[in-house]
Structure 1
């Protein structure tokens, strides 16, 4: 996907504008660029539908306030300009229903809008006291129970059943390596798995220690200049090495599509391919395809670490969580089940 055209200061020369735009694109993760692109399209379409105007820089506080209010309630039974604008967005394929959007969706779009103002060195209207206070109230009013990213964590016993479905064809070797690497290296995200290159796999210690090293150039919580190195041991390391050798991967993307004729193709897997692979393995293991999502590998790693009594800090060293509160949620689910106070009635 082509990176979005970034809104830049009109005062800059064409040369400076191009240089600054290129710098923002190179310094911003691809996932963030894609989110910005979607949000910019949505925001611009909303303002045209609501006010009949294009976006302004800086945007007016009244427009920012109206954006929050229009996305803070269910519009199904409230005819008026807000509903009309929402229907126009639905017609354009930018909105699904008239129901109140999730608070996280509103937060992300506002964050994108604020980022566009920062790129222009302009103050954001969402920082105005009334707008900021309204946003807090809207978030609380629309709060809903936290929905996990995966219906279930893929703990070790479930993972083993998926691994057993992987034969020794190239497709089986690849899928085994993906599943084991994703789990054993700390619960890697889809984008982190598919971004790996052969050059990111350090094999110098494999012959003597059965250990390989993964270099993650960029993750959701780390930047390229941090590039964490994570160890992969035992069966997981062997699975990755078996795939590398069988597929004869000397450089370039580590995980690649495999044709129906069991031939490795010369391009990287897309992140959504991990979802397809997981569904396929769940089906072969006799489980429903919606039993878990790829995030279940991440949740499964932390849940299994809690079940095995691994210290939270040790698990976070591999999962690369920055928030103790976020990582602790997986441990809390395990700990409360084992709490002796739950057995007071026998």
Structure 2
């Protein structure tokens, strides 16, 4: 990623020479998750365009509190019935393809963009305008005014019955083997995120116990909730383990990316699959399985694993050892979503 933020850092520390500045840039890039860097890049583009449309000026460091306050106000209300500067700015952003409409943006979107803006100030060793008392109070009021029921990341969880339909729809050939391995690894290892699935290398898959015990071990380098090099090993058994081994044997992959693109002629490519490719694969399989392509997103693998664990009566701590949730309260939400009539605890006297 070409990072336009780094060159300004040296201005706050004039003692840094060129080599130190380059080392600092490299440290920031290596020490920041790829998805976060992409989000920073998107947010910087948006903030730059908004400031230009609203004030006819570029971003400044540190930014003025009045500018930060107007940003919060512009993104904390519906602009359909309004006339004036805020609506004109929003329409300019819509024209640039940076804003979807005049409706009030999701609170999470506003919070992420402000968090990025704060991070940009820290990178430049500059004071953050959002720390001002008025900005803090305004943001708190905006959060209450914009409060809405949380939207699930996936329309439906991919529970075991849905997963089996997708696996049947995967078909044969190298592509089918790969797609089944992606789904089963992602689901059975605790509900892995897209970036975690495609980030795996062949070296991260340990088959030393497969022949004797039917077990496959996975070593993720890092997840959203674990630090680099501190992610515990995860295990695959049964159908999931067999699917991953079948993919490795058929593809002949001995090193490098575990999941790669496959050409139209069913030939194995060398490039690692992207996050977006996992979404495309899932949509295709949903459609081939006779379901609406919008039925579930890749996050449905994660929510589906925890939902199925609840349905099958697996203790929450046991499920969390695989899902790697940091917060028990967050993981508990999936257990709470299970229909009380389907709760295994309701069957304690079912056979009497």
Alpha-carbon distance between aligned partners in 2 of 1:14 and 1:49, rounded to the nearest angstrom: 34
Match of 2:329 in 1: 325
Match of 1:215 in 2: 219
Match of 2:349 in 1: none
Match of 2:313 in 1: 309
Pairwise mapping of residues 37-116 of structure 1 onto structure 2 (< 5 A)? Answer: 37-116=41-120
Unaligned regions of 5+ residues in structure 1, if any? none
Match of 1:298 in 2: 302
Match of 2:34 in 1: 30
Deviation at 1:2, TM superposition (A): 4.3
Runs of 4+ with >2 A deviation: 1-7, 11-18, 165-168, 335-340
- What TM-score, normalized to structure 1? 0.94
Match of 2:141 in 1: 137
Deviation at 1:209, TM superposition (A): 1.1
Q: Are residues 180 and 92 of structure 1, via their aligned partners in 2, closer, same or farther at CA, if it must alter by over 3 Å?
A: same
Unaligned regions of 5+ residues in structure 2, if any? 347-352
Q: Are residues 4 and 321 of structure 1, via their aligned partners in 2, closer, same or farther at CA, if it must alter by over 3 Å?
A: farther
Alpha-carbon distance between aligned partners in 1 of 2:288 and 2:106, rounded to the nearest angstrom: 34
Deviation at 1:223, TM superposition (A): 2.3
Deviation at 1:339, TM superposition (A): 7.4
Match of 2:239 in 1: 235
Alpha-carbon distance between aligned partners in 2 of 1:63 and 1:28, rounded to the nearest angstrom: 27
Q: Is the 8 A contact 1:217 1:228 kept in 2?
A: no
Q: Are residues 91 and 166 of structure 1, via their aligned partners in 2, closer, same or farther at CA, if it must alter by over 3 Å?
A: closer
* Deviation larger for 210-219 or 281-290: 281-290
Q: Is the 8 A contact 2:193 2:299 kept in 1?
A: yes
Q: Does structure 1 residue 8 correspond to structure 2 residue 29?
A: no
In angstroms, what is the RMSD of aligned CA positions?
1.8
* TM-superposition CA deviations, 1:303-341 (whole Å, max 9, x none): 00000111111111111111222111110011644579x
Alpha-carbon distance between aligned partners in 2 of 1:273 and 1:2, rounded to the nearest angstrom: 23
Q: Alignment partner of 1:257: what SS?
A: strand
Q: Alignment partner of 2:260: what SS?
A: coil
Alpha-carbon distance between aligned partners in 2 of 1:90 and 1:77, rounded to the nearest angstrom: 16
Q: Alignment partner of 1:8: what SS?
A: helix
Alpha-carbon distance between aligned partners in 1 of 2:220 and 2:25, rounded to the nearest angstrom: 25
- What TM-score, normalized to structure 2? 0.92
